[in-house]
């Protein structure tokens, strides 16, 4: 029994290593897409990124961080004005309240600095484990947990790294499987993989670097190569159009 458990453990360690190797080959320079110049800016950008694309958040924060360069400016600005400034990111009332609340707490409880522990970060309004993990991993290089967003969740389930359905449980499964020094890079790579290859609909399995270890029911076959007849079709249509013009 013990032997069987050990064999299974080694098997899943080997499989995880193959997945990490594949991700390293495909996404060697994975970086967070949210533009920021400090832990505080990253915190604000991550709060704004809920239900919004990184591109849109970056467009908004370009002006936002000039208008509100410090926690003080966010904490003391009129809430209605802040709401309008973050409006394009959606859910703007909640997000403005969270940003202002988090800025005030940072000033009052943490001497104006973004705290560096999970326990403290999740006390900030609008900050749950996912946001805290983003800040800890990217701003402070601390792998207290694993960022689990919708892409990481989908990729982890398809690759059988977790069978869980909630981000909290998926994170716990990943923490058991991933070496500590790979927790930050794995999330960044899995986000890129989920966005570009292992997409929710029609994943591009024929270009997937970890296809050989994936048994997901969502796997898609490679698209058929374009047939020569089809490739010629537009040409012959153009020819006959020309012919018609000449006639
Ligand atoms: S083989 Fe397909 S479903 Fe499996 S991880 Fe790769 S892209 Fe996703």
Q: What is the pLDDT of residues 172-224, one digit of tens each?
A: 999 999 999 999 999 999 999 999 999 999 999 999 999 999 999 999 998 88
Q: Please indicate whether residue 4 is annotated as part of the active site.
A: no
| CB 197 near ligand 1, within 6 Å | yes
What confidence tens digit (pLDDT) does each residue in 131-185 have? 999 999 999 999 999 999 999 999 999 999 999 999 999 999 999 999 999 999 9
- Which pTM was predicted? 0.86
Long-range contacts from 228-231, C-beta under 8 angstroms, 24+ separation:
none
Confidence of residue 241 (pLDDT cuts 50, 70, 90): very low
C-beta separation of 92 from 86 below 8 A: yes
CATH architecture of 39-140: Orthogonal Bundle (1.10)
The helix (run of H) or strand (run of E) holding residue 120 is helix 118-121
Ligand 1 centroid – CA 219 distance (Å)? 6
- Roughly what angle, to the nearest 10 degrees, separates helices 92-109 and 39-48? 150
Task: Determine how many CB atoms are found less than 10 A away from the CB of residue 162.
Answer: 21
Residue 241 among the catalytic residues: no
Tell me the per-residue pLDDT of 133-145, one tens digit each, with 9 for 90 and over.
999 999 999 999 9
CA distance 44 to 46: 5
Could you tell me the sign of the dihedral formed by the alpha carbons of 130, 45, 59, 50, in that order? positive
Q: What is the DSSP letter of 28?
A: T
Residues 6+ apart with CB under 8 A from 227: none
- Per-domain residue ranges of the chain: 39-140
Q: Answer whether residue 227 shows pLDDT above 90.
A: no
């Amino acid at each position: 029994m013990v032997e069987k458990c050990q064999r299974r453990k080694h098997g899943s360690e080997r499989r995880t290593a193959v997945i990490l190797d594949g991700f390293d080959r495909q996404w060697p320079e994975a970086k967070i897409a949210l533009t920021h110049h400090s832990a505080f800016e990253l915190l604000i950008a991550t709060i704004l990124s809920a239900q919004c694309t990184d591109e849109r958040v970056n467009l908004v924060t370009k002006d936002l961080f000039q208008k509100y360069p410090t926690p003080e400016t966010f904490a003391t600005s009129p809430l209605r004005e802040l709401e309008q400034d973050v409006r394009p990111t959606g859910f703007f009332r909640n997000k403005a309240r969270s940003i202002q609340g988090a800025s005030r707490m940072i000033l009052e409880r943490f001497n104006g600095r973004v705290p560096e522990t999970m326990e403290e970060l999740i006390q900030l309004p609008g900050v749950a484990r996912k946001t805290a993990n983003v800040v800890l991993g990217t701003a402070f290089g601390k792998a207290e947990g694993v960022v689990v967003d919708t892409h990481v969740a989908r990729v982890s389930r398809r690759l059988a790294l977790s069978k869980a359905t909630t981000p909290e449980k998926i994170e716990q499964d990943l923490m058991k499987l991933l070496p500590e020094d790979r927790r930050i890079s794995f999330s960044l790579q899995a986000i890129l993989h989920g966005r570009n290859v292992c997409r929710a609909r029609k994943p591009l399995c024929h270009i997937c670097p970890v296809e050989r270890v994936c048994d997901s029911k969502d796997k898609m076959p490679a698209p058929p190569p374009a047939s020569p007849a089809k490739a010629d079709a537009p040409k012959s249509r153009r020819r006959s159009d020309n012919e018609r013009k000449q006639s």
